[in-house]
Structure 1
Amino acid sequence: MPGNTYTVQNDHLSVTVQAKGAELMSLYNKKQQLEYMWNGDPAFWGKHSPVLFPVIGTLKNNTYYYNNKAYHLGRHGFARDMDFTVAEQTTSSLGFSLLSNADTLQKFPFEFVFDIIYLLQQDRLTVTYRVRNTGNGDMYFSVGGHPAFKVPVVEGTGYDDHYLEFNKTENAVRWPISPEGLIETRAEPFLAGTNKLPLRKELFYRDALVFKNLRSDAVRLLASKHDKGIEFNFPGFPYLGIWAAKDAGFVCIEPWCGIADPVTSSQQLTEKEGINRLAPGSVFERSWGVGMSE
């Protein structure tokens, strides 16, 4: 694996994270002898599980305004491309930190400490995002995950043999994404009285499936031809994206505290949909988790 990587493991799982972006690279089930993370094949999509901070998705014209000044940020922000420091390493956890600096302040005028903690407990991995406002004024930000799980996970099965099963019945619309990466103003009917979403590669030919305020806070990735799979929990995340690169062998389950700009965005950061406001000295924390079907 490229770059500096760190591994934590127990009798059930082995987890590997690289310092660049504090990105989860491998989630290996020892008992099943199966890798659950996408391999990062650059022919389709060269990442595994990037963190999205301090914005999620695309800003209108890659620009936002704060205190009458324009700032420019690319898709999903800068954290995924920055080197984190290892803040803590125990027999069951890995902790990584990113601190604001002169470069980040040019693009995002807030002082912060951003921690990502990976914790192993039996056959479960919990990933925690912790944002601390170390500045003197309110901080406005988004944060989210983008983990890509391998589909199919078991050789000899196909992509279409898999499905997502939400923990509650949903009547949910999807919010289409414009060619510029912005959220369209009109939603489309999608999940109608069901908790099951069959996977097929054509689902993602129009970019991600974007949902707002689902009833569910967990979803399982399962297959019809075997009993191997995962349960993904995302309590406290008001938005969920589901995505795969065109014809690629994975599915991303993306819990978001924040969302891309709508096509009608004012570009004012304080007015941005889903933005989180954090008072000086305060801490914002959210966790998602993934467990295994043994």
Structure 2
Amino acid sequence: MIILKNDILKIELNPKGAEIIKIIGLKDGLNYMWRRDASLWANSAPILFPIVGALQNNECRIEGKTYTMTQHGFSRHNEYVTHQLSDTCVEFELTPNEEILKQYPYLFHLKVIYTLKENQLECRCLVRNTDHRTIYFQIGGHPAFACPLMENESSNDYYIEFEKNETLYQKIIDVEHRGMSDKTELLFDNERRFFIRQAMFNNDAIVVKNPHSHYVALKSLNHDKSIRFYIDNFNHLGIWASKHVGGLIAIEPWVGHSDYVGFNGEFKDKEGVVVLAENDEFMCQFTVEINQ
């Protein structure tokens, strides 16, 4: 495990999946991340690449050839090369190996750089095209936070609050067919917050496209502790609390999402996919702010 630390926060990171394991407030001693109960959900914040969500039948077509890849892609199953640059900064690197090329034929260089600045943990993802052709990919984060934060609390007292009032339509996931349906329903009508209720996630994540807000926050009615989550250069936002897993809320910045049900086109035609020319670089970033 990799440790980042300053006077405010202690961060634990895993090179496998370039994943945040713990964010501990040194003032209150709380771990603000999901506790990683292996019997429920063993992860906490893997980096998703080169897909977000699921492919139809776990298959995708690239230049006419069929490849197999499981949900959220291979990044979360791979060990990144680690370069700890200081007590407050680490750089993880992933490049294709033989197993990766069986799933995804493009050459790339993925860096995930974590930087601790006061009460904020910044995660910057950089993808460089090292191929001789244009490459296509999706990328995202999956950080799951403790909800509730403390014992003897209820998640029913917690709410998600957007920076601004929003009018947003929620994309509806077809759980049975493991894909995105073509249906939407109104989530916000010039509103900015909703209370966390497990029934909201019966159809998996709440997914919205291009909110105007630069951040969303996780807050409680009972105290002033909060998490503010900043998003930069993502085109979708997923919010997830599995009906089978209590004690967490995931705030997931995505570029792209699961295949639409029935989609059998080329990978490059997936909605929200990044199109990256030879030698070009793509950057997206999220930042977790802890208010103890």
Aligned mate of 2:239, from 238, 242, 260:
242
Corresponding position of 2:230:
233
Corresponding position of 2:104:
108
Note the 1:147-226 alignment, pairs <5 A: 147-178=143-174, 179-226=176-223
What whole-Å deviation, never above 9, does each CA across 1:55-81 have from its counterpart, x for those lacking one?
Answer: 000111211111111111110000100
Secondary structure of the residue aligned to 1:270 is: helix
Q: How far is 1:44 from its partner?
A: 1.9
Q: How far is 1:214 from its partner?
A: 1.3
Answer whether contact 1:244 1:250 (CA < 8 A) is retained.
yes
Q: Counterpart of 1:168 in structure 2: which amino acid?
A: K
Corresponding position of 2:30:
34
Determine the C-alpha separation between the residues in 1 that align with 2:15 and 2:121. 18
What whole-Å deviation, never above 9, does each CA across 1:109-168 have from its counterpart, x for those lacking one?
Answer: 111111111100001100011111111111100000000000111233210010010001
Match status 1:63 vs 2:47 = no
What whole-Å deviation, never above 9, does each CA across 1:224-279 have from its counterpart, x for those lacking one?
Answer: 01000110001211100000122410000000011111114233111111110111
What whole-Å deviation, never above 9, does each CA across 1:5-64 have from its counterpart, x for those lacking one?
Answer: 010100000011011111110001101211100011122211110111000001112111
TM-score by length of 2: 0.96
Q: How far is 1:200 from its partner?
A: 1.5
Secondary structure of the residue aligned to 1:105 is: helix
Determine the C-alpha separation between the residues in 1 that align with 2:202 and 2:158. 18
Q: How far is 1:89 from its partner?
A: 2.9
Runs (5+) with no aligned partner, structure 2 = none
Return 262-271 or 9-18, whichever deviates more.
262-271
Corresponding position of 1:119:
115
Match status 1:259 vs 2:257 = yes
Aligned mate of 1:96, from 85, 92, 107:
92
Q: Counterpart of 1:196 in structure 2: which amino acid?
A: R
Task: Please list every run of at least 4 consecutive aligned residues from structure 1 whose deviation after the TM superposition is greater than 6 angstroms.
Answer: none
Corresponding position of 1:140:
136
Determine the C-alpha separation between the residues in 2 that align with 1:101 and 1:83. 11
Determine the C-alpha separation between the residues in 1 that align with 2:291 and 2:280. 37
Count residues in correspondence: 290
Answer whether contact 2:168 2:208 (CA < 8 A) is retained.
yes
Determine the C-alpha separation between the residues in 1 that align with 2:182 and 2:223. 40
Give percent identity, aligned residues only.
33
Determine the C-alpha separation between the residues in 2 that align with 1:193 and 1:284. 32
Determine the C-alpha separation between the residues in 2 that align with 1:202 and 1:136. 47
Answer whether contact 2:215 2:230 (CA < 8 A) is retained.
yes
Q: Counterpart of 1:278 in structure 2: which amino acid?
A: L
Return 204-213 or 115-124, whichever deviates more.
204-213
Secondary structure of the residue aligned to 2:200 is: helix
TM-score by length of 1: 0.96
Aligned mate of 1:291, from 269, 289, 292:
289
The structure-2 alpha-carbon separation of the partners of 1:230 and 1:138, relative to structure 1 and needing over 3 Å to count, comes to: same
Determine the C-alpha separation between the residues in 2 that align with 1:83 and 1:60. 26
Determine the C-alpha separation between the residues in 2 that align with 1:286 and 1:206. 27
Secondary structure of the residue aligned to 2:173 is: coil
Corresponding position of 2:81:
85
